[in-house]
Structure 1
Amino acid sequence: MKVIDLTHTIRENMPVYPGTEPPKLSPTSSYESDGFKETLMQMYTHTGTHMDPPAHIFSGRTTLDEFPVDQFIGKALVIDCRELKEGQAITMDCIRRAGEKAEQADFLLFNLGWDCRWGTAGYFGEYPCIDEEVMAYILSGNYKGIGFDVIGLDPISDEKLIRHHRLFEEKDIVNIENLKNLNLCGTDLFWFSCFPLKVENCDGSPIRAVAWFEQ
């Protein structure tokens, strides 16, 4: 079995969404004084490779802990959008190239090639975002989730989070941000898991996103 980690490592001074604080990892116990190591971890629920549920945007909508656990596992397909330039839109042309496989997937993962900018100022640039036709396509399907190797579903400049609102207004679906290594996943369907922490009333959570291939 071939397994690929699609997750950025959580560390202090990592890239975070503008206006939030990076994680703090504070030692509380040590091998020398206590015989074991333990760390106090302080971070926002939308840190690193993470997942948004509808409750991220709408009060009273589904939180991550309310989803059945099978929401976070299934077949995924990478949609290659690496030819797009800054500020361009992700259109249905990208999805149509995948043919019927796009309709067979539980998760559509959009590869912008943006993970190569992780840790640089360029990561916060004008990454391509899905247009209204792609959003309508996603909402009309039976997808468990969508994912991106960029820091947001919406452009950083969009303080109204228009795409988040459209995605979550009525549909129980999850949105994954800050993926990596999507270029290693090929062009066929593969197994994918993205389990969040099970936190009460959870508006978001870091995840360990993994792709695996049966050989």
Structure 2
Amino acid sequence: MNINTDALTILDISMPITRLMPVYKGKEHKRPKLSIDSDFSSSSAYETRLEMNLHTGTHLDTPLHMIPDGYTLEKLELSKVVTACRVIDLTFVRDKITDVDLQKFTFKEGDFILLKTRNSFEDILETDFVYLDKSGAKFLAEKRIKGVGIDALGIERDQPGHESHISLFESDVVILEGLRLKDIEEGEYLLSAAPVLIPGAEAAPARAYLIKP
């Protein structure tokens, strides 16, 4: 199949991986470390090593993250993360996205929804970021959507029982976190967010981007 890439707009919605990037709640041990294994002063090749938590930056969670017998990355169907998607604008939300906020929109079974919030505009990713609360997660799960992404480092915050994660995972909803949506308009796109294949892992980084004809 021939595709005219000149007719496509590709929009990167991934976070760069750097030592100074925002990490979940600013925890120092979550900051990525890039070191040099060899350089041209001692070798004929330049090679580096990356050490980081798998929930750093733009990444995908699988059910094992919160459910003891949940599936891991090798069980993920790529059609769930290379798919049509819809960005919805929730920048009016100040603290948490609830079912009431989501009732302003229409959803259909099989949707992949990206939640654009004020997280993309304000320096709050390590502190009081906007998140999807348990009522909002339950609402989306009941709509039988395929996946949900958010411009926060976690789909939820300060919910001791991790109800948002669990509600989505139990309904087989993919969770994509750490998106950058500041320059993305509300609307429909093709999403590519395939994670690095790490068998047995509960999460992995993804290079997420949107394609608009």
Question: What interval of TM-score do these two structures reach, taking the shorter chain for normalisation?
Answer: 0.7 to 0.9
**Residue 3 of structure 2 aligns with which residue?**
none
1:97/1:183 CA distance change after superposition, 3 Å: farther
Aligned length: 204
Structure 1 residue 207 corresponds to structure 2 residue 209: no
Shift of 1:177: 1.4
Identity %: 26
2:148 aligned residue (146, 149, 174):
146
**Residue 65 of structure 1 aligns with which residue?**
74
Structure 1 residue 179 corresponds to structure 2 residue 179: yes
Contact 1:115–1:178 (8 Å) recurs in 2: no
1:17/1:133 CA distance change after superposition, 3 Å: closer
Shift of 1:131: 4.0
Shift of 1:97: 4.2
1:144/1:105 CA distance change after superposition, 3 Å: closer
Deviates more, 1:46-55 or 1:65-74: 65-74
Instruction: State the secondary structure of the residue aligned to 2:194.
Output: strand
Structure 1 residue 111 corresponds to structure 2 residue 116: yes
Structure 1 residue 160 corresponds to structure 2 residue 161: yes
Which stretches in structure 1 are left out of the alignment for 5+ residues?
Answer: none
Counterpart Cα distance in 1 of 2:108 and 2:24: 31
**Residue 31 of structure 2 aligns with which residue?**
22
Aligned-partner residue type, residue 10 of structure 2: V
Shift of 1:112: 0.7
Structure 1 residue 189 corresponds to structure 2 residue 188: yes
CA RMSD, Structure 1 to Structure 2 (Å): 2.1
1:50 aligned residue (33, 52, 59):
59
Instruction: State the secondary structure of the residue aligned to 1:165.
Output: helix
Aligned-partner residue type, residue 197 of structure 1: V
Counterpart Cα distance in 2 of 1:146 and 1:4: 18
Contact 1:185–1:211 (8 Å) recurs in 2: no
1:144/1:42 CA distance change after superposition, 3 Å: same
TM-score, normalising length: structure 1: 0.85
Counterpart Cα distance in 2 of 1:175 and 1:54: 9
Listed one character per residue, the Cα deviations across residues 105-163 of structure 1 (whole Å, up to 9, x for unaligned) are 6311111121233xx4x3233333334443233212342211111121221x3343222
TM-score, normalising length: structure 2: 0.85
Structure 1 residue 90 corresponds to structure 2 residue 89: no
